[in-house]
Each structure stands twice: as structure tokens, then as C-alpha cells.
Amino acid sequence: MGEIENMIDRIRQGDKVTLSKLITKMENDPELRKEVIKRIYGCPVKGKIICFTGPPGVGKSTLIDHVISILTERGKKVGVILVDPRSPYTGGSLLGDRIRMQRHATNPNVFIRSISCADNPEGISRSVKDILKVMGLSGMDYIIVETVGTGQIAVEVSYICHTTVLVLMPNMGDDIQMMKAGIIESADIYVINKSDIGGADLTEAYLKDNVEPRNGWEPPIIRTVGYNRATVIPLIEKIEEHLKYENPMYMEKIKGLLKTMFLDYIDDLACRFLEKESKFEEFVDKVANCGCDYYTAVEELYDIFKKEVICRDKKD
């Protein structure tokens, strides 16, 4: 595994080609991902992670384009991870977020990577959490994550990021939409983009009614217009302010994230076991033909898992 250490060293020195290659390897190989994380766990990460989430088409990528401009003009290094959906039917994807920020493609202080996501309804794929760790080694001051266009349940991102920005636009629904649980409760900063198209007053009023202070932080609501860079500056100021704010519930937040990561890994192990276990298909057949119920089938598979995997590992 000397190769991994070599790559990590080069990434620490700011080598973008190696960073890009290691991201590919981590995406394709969960075993390698694990080895990388075992090596870098506990390493201090300099970069602050800012997440942009919200429904498709509200202008997340366009806002990020301005944010990159403003931050790099202030001498900062910025890494960007853009997550777009992968087709559950063909496995293919069209990664089209970076089209909005191609003017930064040749900036040596910017690294942009598009990632497809299929395995997580919450807007980021599992590998992204690990990839963020690796990007953190490369000396970037900020790491921006753009989620898949998400609706109502992308709460998990708020655990991963220092600051979560929820981007909305006018005329997306009435106050009932804002009253629903989930994403509306999770952001640190709310943006009403495309606020020049009319209807922004009502959207802001609905938001104001439903966004509540959390642990001493009062989430601001900011209006932006994608083609007007000046409107994005107040957003940056609020992001900076939030990054300085010390969340008294920080440890709780981290523990929340860790719990989801534990569960993810258990899920991974179970999936890999099932892929190899010939009885899996047999049980599926049996349930499909009403031979038994799926609870019983899973319990029997779990017994095999305990006997074969856990006992075997103990012997090793």
C-alpha cells in the first residue's frame, strides 16, 4: 500500500492530477477507500466545507460560480464537488453542473470535480464523505459541495458541512411547503435566488414564518439574482459569519454524522455479503413464490451472516 501513501503525500503538496486520480480510485473501489481513510483519519483538515443544496434548477451552480470568483479574488483556494444523479436504469449520467463555472477551469487555485450519485436519496453519495476528507488534505481554504437537486429530505448534508446553504426560488409553493419537516429545518443560510422574477416577497414571508433560530444562530434569508454578482456578496459575508459562529451543539452534530456513517458501512458489508451468498437469490425466489415472508427470509440470512462472516472473522 506504499502507492496510497505516495499519492497522499503528493496531494498534500497540492498535486491536482494525483488528487483527481485518487478520487477516481476511491469512487470505484470501496476497499481502497477504506485503506485511504484509515491512513488519514485524524489528520487536521484546514478547509471549511460549505454545502449548497436545494431543488433542481434554482441556480445552485450559478451561485457557486460567483462564490468561487469572490473567494479566489480574496486569495483563497477553493475545491468544488458537484454531485449529479446517476440513472438507475442505465447507470449513465450527464454531469452538467460545471458548465456554469467553466471560467474557473484553468485557475490554479480552483479544483472542480463532478461526481455521480445513485446510492443515496439525500443528495450526496457515500463516497463523497470520504472524498471530502482527501480534498481537505490538499490545502484548500474552502470546499464547496453541490448536492443533487433535492426536495425535502436532504438533512444529512448539514451534518457533513460547516455551513449549509439552502437555495430556493420564488413561486415554489405555498406556506404549507415551508411548514413541512426536513430540509427547511436544516439549513444555516436561506437563499431566494432568481428574486427578480416576482413572488420573492411572499417566499420570504413564508420562510420568515417557518425558519427558527437554532442554538443561538438566527438563519438569515438572502435574496440573490444569478446574473448579478453584487447580490452574492451578502451571501458570502453571511457564510463567513456562520463559519465563525461556534455551535454549542457541534459535538452532537458530529455524532449524528458518525452514526449515519456507521450505518452506511454496516449496510455496505451486508450488501457485499449478499452479493456473494448464493442463498440470497434462493430466498428471494422463495418469497416471490409465497414460500415464506420476507422477514423470515432476512432473519435466516442474518443467521448465515453471523455464522459465516462473524465467526470466520474471529478465527482470523
Give me the least distance between CB of 100 and other proteins, in Å please: 8
Site string for other proteins, 113-132 (x = CB under 8 A): xx-x----------------
What SS3 class is residue 170?
coil
| DSSP, residue by residue, 229-267 | GGGGHHHHHHHHHHHHS--TTHHHHHHHHHHHHHHHHHH
Contact status: 194 vs other proteins (CB under 8 A): no
Residue from 12, 21, 76, 214 that binds other proteins (CB under 8 A)?
A: 21
Give me the least distance between CB of 11 and other proteins, in Å please: 13
Nearer to other proteins, 44 or 92 (CB): 92
Nearer to other proteins, 19 or 178 (CB): 19
Residue at 40: amino acid letter: I
d(CA 72, CA 49) in angstroms, rounded, equals 15
Site for other proteins in 63-92 (CB under 8 A): 86-87, 90-92
Nearer to other proteins, 126 or 223 (CB): 126
- Is the distance from CB of 83 to CB of 116 less than 8 angstroms? yes
- Is the distance from CB of 96 to CB of 107 less than 8 angstroms? no
User: Which cell is 102 given?
Assistant: 467553466
Count, residues near other proteins per rule CB under 8 A: 27
d(CA 32, CA 43) in angstroms, rounded, equals 18
By the criterion CB under 8 A, which residues form the site for other proteins? 16-17, 20-21, 23-24, 27-28, 86-87, 90-96, 98-99, 102, 105-106, 111-114, 116
